[in-house]
């Protein structure tokens, strides 16, 4: 057995959403996006191995290369090896620190951890510094991860992160705008359905341009991005919250009006959002929602209000997480 390279990469929740690409092959987003890194991780362990193909296991189960869950990571790994000139085959074991059955399909942490651990193994690097010495800066690794899954590039920094759309490969940049310690926000992910979504985000992105609302959305995003960043800078939830909700609902409206429509929100989601609005008004609760490409609701609130949010989620399944500090890399010698 060879040394094991271990990457732990967080997932993130977008405040300004990446929905629609300007170039699918290059994974260029149609607009800037902005996210909060979460304290929720995929850990991936990688070793060199002598088999004819990469071997991938998830949550202790070895997956055949044609298993739906294995196809995307394995195809991406081939792409990475070919483009960077690495020929060694890898033995990969990956797992999430959140339950598989909770409906959080995290391609951001998954593809991020795969990128980091594979590069570390191929270059025999046990830290970000060692990777940088070999030419792989954090920015370069994030750019590579983007080819695996766009949102993965934002997971390479802790705190609050912006992905600038750019207009050429050289202009694709991602950077931290505020560190994790900036503001103790929390994300309570209310799990209303744990089913696998019927349309993957990757397929959903393709439909964005068919929506009559998409061009209108792109025209307002720059201004909304500024306002979100400003509310973050001031740590002003009463300004940030309504912007998060407007943004999430607009993305879902674009989805719904795509041809064919893609509908991720169910009755349960709408019912829960109605309750949230009612309780917020009655109790003056400082708690707002955002949504991903799925039916689950992300409640964003300040840590100090945790107890006030409890009645809203009583009897429901949820994960409650804080702001994440970013990825980690280590190596266990044989």
- Comparing CB distances to ligand DP6, the nearer of 104 and 312 is 104
- Comparing CB distances to ligand DP6, the nearer of 20 and 241 is 20
CA distances from 111 to 32, 58, 121, 160, 202 (A): 20, 13, 15, 19, 13
DSSP secondary structure letter of residue 60: T
What is the C-alpha to C-alpha distance for residues 99 and 194, in angstroms, rounded to an integer? Answer: 10
Q: Which of 7, 9, 14, 36 binds ligand DP6 (CB under 6 A)?
A: 14
Can residue 18 be called a binding residue for ligand DP6 (CB under 6 A)?
Answer: yes
The contacts of residue 315 (CB under 8 Å, 6+ apart) are none
Can residue 19 be called a binding residue for ligand DP6 (CB under 6 A)?
Answer: yes
CB of 183 to ligand DP6, least distance (A): 19
Tokens of 159: 């705190």
Can residue 71 be called a binding residue for ligand DP6 (CB under 6 A)?
Answer: no
CB of 18 to ligand DP6, least distance (A): 3
- Comparing CB distances to ligand DP6, the nearer of 4 and 35 is 35
Which residue has the CB atom at the shortest distance from ligand DP6?
Answer: 150
Can residue 106 be called a binding residue for ligand DP6 (CB under 6 A)?
Answer: no
Can residue 258 be called a binding residue for ligand DP6 (CB under 6 A)?
Answer: no
CB of 203 to ligand DP6, least distance (A): 8
Residue 76's Cβ-count burial label (10 Å; 0-12, 13-18, 19+) is buried
Can residue 290 be called a binding residue for ligand DP6 (CB under 6 A)?
Answer: no
- Selection from 151, 121, 155 nearest residue 138 by Cα: 155
- In a 3-state reduction of DSSP, which class is residue 243? helix
Site string for ligand DP6, 187-226 (x = CB under 6 A): --------------xx--x---------------------
What is the C-alpha to C-alpha distance for residues 38 and 287, in angstroms, rounded to an integer? Answer: 17
What is the C-alpha to C-alpha distance for residues 21 and 44, in angstroms, rounded to an integer? Answer: 28
Applying CB under 6 A, the residues found at the interface with ligand DP6 are 14, 17-19, 27, 33, 107, 149-151, 201-202, 205, 292-293
């Amino acid at each position: 057995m060879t040394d094991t390279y271990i990457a732990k990469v967080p997932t993130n929740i977008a405040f300004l959403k990446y929905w629609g690409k300007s170039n699918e092959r290059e994974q260029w987003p149609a607009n800037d996006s902005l996210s909060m890194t979460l304290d929720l991780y995929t850990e991936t362990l990688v070793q060199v191995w002598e088999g004819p193909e990469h071997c991938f296991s998830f949550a202790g189960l070895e997956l055949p290369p044609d298993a739906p869950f294995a196809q995307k990571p394995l195809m991406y790994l081939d792409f990475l090896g070919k483009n960077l000139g690495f020929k060694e085959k890898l033995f990969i074991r990956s797992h999430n620190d959140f339950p598989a059955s909770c409906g959080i399909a995290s391609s951001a942490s998954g593809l991020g951890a795969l990128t980091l651990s594979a590069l570390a193994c191929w270059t025999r690097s046990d830290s970000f510094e060692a990777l940088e010495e070999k030419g792989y800066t954090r920015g370069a690794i994030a750019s590579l991860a983007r080819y695996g899954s766009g949102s993965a590039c934002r997971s390479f920094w802790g705190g609050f992160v912006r992905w600038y759309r750019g207009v050429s490969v050289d202009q694709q940049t991602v950077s931290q705008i505020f560190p994790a310690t900036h503001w103790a926000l929390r994300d309570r992910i209310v799990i209303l359905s744990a089913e696998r979504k019927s349309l993957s985000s990757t397929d959903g992105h393709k439909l964005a341009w068919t929506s009559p609302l998409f061009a209108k959305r792109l025209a307002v995003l720059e201004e909304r991005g500024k306002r979100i960043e400003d509310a973050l800078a001031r740590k002003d939830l009463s300004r940030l919250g309504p912007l998060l909700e407007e943004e999430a609902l607009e993305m879902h409206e674009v989805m719904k009006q795509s041809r064919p429509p893609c509908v991720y929100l169910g009755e349960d989601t709408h019912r829960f959002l109605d309750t949230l609005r009612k309780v917020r008004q009655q109790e003056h609760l400082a708690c707002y929602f955002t949504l991903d490409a799925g039916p689950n609701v992300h409640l964003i609130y300040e840590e100090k209000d945790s107890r006030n949010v409890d009645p809203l989620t009583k009897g429901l399944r949820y994960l409650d997480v804080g702001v994440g500090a970013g990825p980690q890399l280590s190596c266990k010698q044989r």
